[in-house]
Structure 1
């Protein structure tokens, strides 16, 4: 069952449907314990995937110190909230009660983003823009709120084009996933490392799919999907 969860984690980590929400849902459906440490281990597999897939965006940022600053600024809200409310957040991974609301939030963000077309590039981003996107990312600490969905939607709603909204979301995933991994690293089991490989492979495939979906302006499809999952999680409470 853990192997299935690893594949789902990889596929849903980058698709805007909340990987953590799906893991909590699967855990409750099949009575599999899905603590935060397992979730973070699977996130590390997807981290490897995005480091490979987003190499061009990473190089783009490294050449421009200002963009590095903006990425750090966007990362701060989630980092501060994650550290300050670690125990509260972990409890939300054990129950279905919160999922319907959080999935609906993701659905709303995606619906709003699908109706807007921006033209600003990453180089035009201001500190306030990056902070707002970071606040949206902080909401994705909770299962059911998609990190990629929240950050992509926030960037699009702020007027950035879809390509750079996607690219900036990729960049934010790196410190977010790395930070979570370091926070829970001491709880990993060597025997579970094969799960990291599974999440890496499915994550890489999902990244290719996500790029096509975002550039084709098909985010509304995932908005509907999240509403369906919200209803399902409500009925299973």
Structure 2
């Protein structure tokens, strides 16, 4: 892996991890388009740590509040929302893994993401009484968690599906976005821990130390920028602009899958 490739992959991971466009879907597309294999496991873990740093910086106040008040309603809602994805990841892992080479799955997933974003934005525009944390019910958290579980499939955006679920459930725009991004913390940590043993079993080749260092830094920087952009768009009620991107890319991927 060259330094330029590391920077590019880190930047793409940082952006697509938090923009509602599916990071896993874009990874599959890049692999088919460029004819490259999946990035080394060690590098993949490191760039995910980079995106984790971005979340910690962007939501440091929320994280400090959770640490100070670990038994708050917000914490319980996060725990409940994590359960569906954890169960799905454990029980259906072979199905999810098989889908990671499928352009068909990516194309359909992107179309679904676009639909979710559009529907949720329309419902949020009609919502008069938006829920804050105290009004949010545990069944709302379960609903968010279920949609997050579907984001294990490439093409279905984790941030897009969870923000959309929050808006559909009637959550305040700002709270829905904050909840979605903070919810990504246990997901990213879980994925990194799951891969950690295999990732570093053989160490990092000396010639790759710089690329492996700068890739995660790029992921952190672009991840933070993506978070800031999404928060602003959610507040302004313009998140659905990503619907058109997802639909266009999804259509291109499906045409590519069937006719090219």
TM-score band (shorter)?
over 0.9
Q: Which residue of 2 aligns with 1:91?
A: 98
Q: 1:41 to 1:86 in 2, by over 3 A?
A: farther
Could you report, residue by residue, the CA deviation over 1:151-176 in whole angstroms, capped at 9, with x for unpaired residues?
Answer: 10001111111000001001110001
Equivalent residues of 1:5, 1:26 under 8 A apart? no
- 8 Å contact 1:24–1:93 — kept in the other structure? yes
Cα gap change, 1:18 to 1:229, in 2 (>3 Å): same
The answer to whether the aligner puts 1:136 opposite 2:147 as a matched pair is: yes
* Normalised TM-score (structure 2): 0.85
User: How far apart in 1 are the matches of 2:46 and 2:253?
Assistant: 24
**Which residue of the other structure, out of 139, 146, 149, is the alignment partner of 2:160?**
149
**Contact 2:230/2:239 (CA < 8 Å) preserved in 1?**
no
Q: Paired residue for 1:210, among 230, 249, 252?
A: 230
RMSD: 1.8
Alignment of 1:49 with 2:41, yes or no, is no
Q: Label 1:89 to 1:35 Cα distance change in 2 as closer, same or farther (>3 A).
A: farther
Match of 1:11 in 2: 15
1:171–1:19: structure 2 CA closer, same or farther, 3 Å change rule?
Answer: same
2-side partners of 1:23 and 1:44: how far apart?
Answer: 17
Distance 1:35 1:138, change over 3 A: farther
Aligned length: 237
Q: 1:159 to 1:55 in 2, by over 3 A?
A: same
Equivalent position of 1:28 in the other structure: 32
> Contact 1:34–1:93 (CA<8 Å) still a contact in 2?
no
1:159 paired with 2:159, answer no
Shift of 1:4: 1.8
Match of 2:112 in 1: 105
- Distance in 2 separating the partners of 1:36 and 1:87: 20
SS at match of 1:97: helix
Describe the superposition over 1:29-79 as per-residue Cα deviations: whole angstroms up to 9, x where unpaired.
Answer: 001112694545432211110011011222344435222121111001111
Q: 1:77 aligns with which of 64, 77, 84?
A: 84
Listed as ranges, the gaps of 5+ residues in structure 1 are none
Equivalent residue, structure 2, for 1:199:
219
Structure whose alpha-carbon radius of gyration is higher: 2
TM-score by length of 1: 0.93
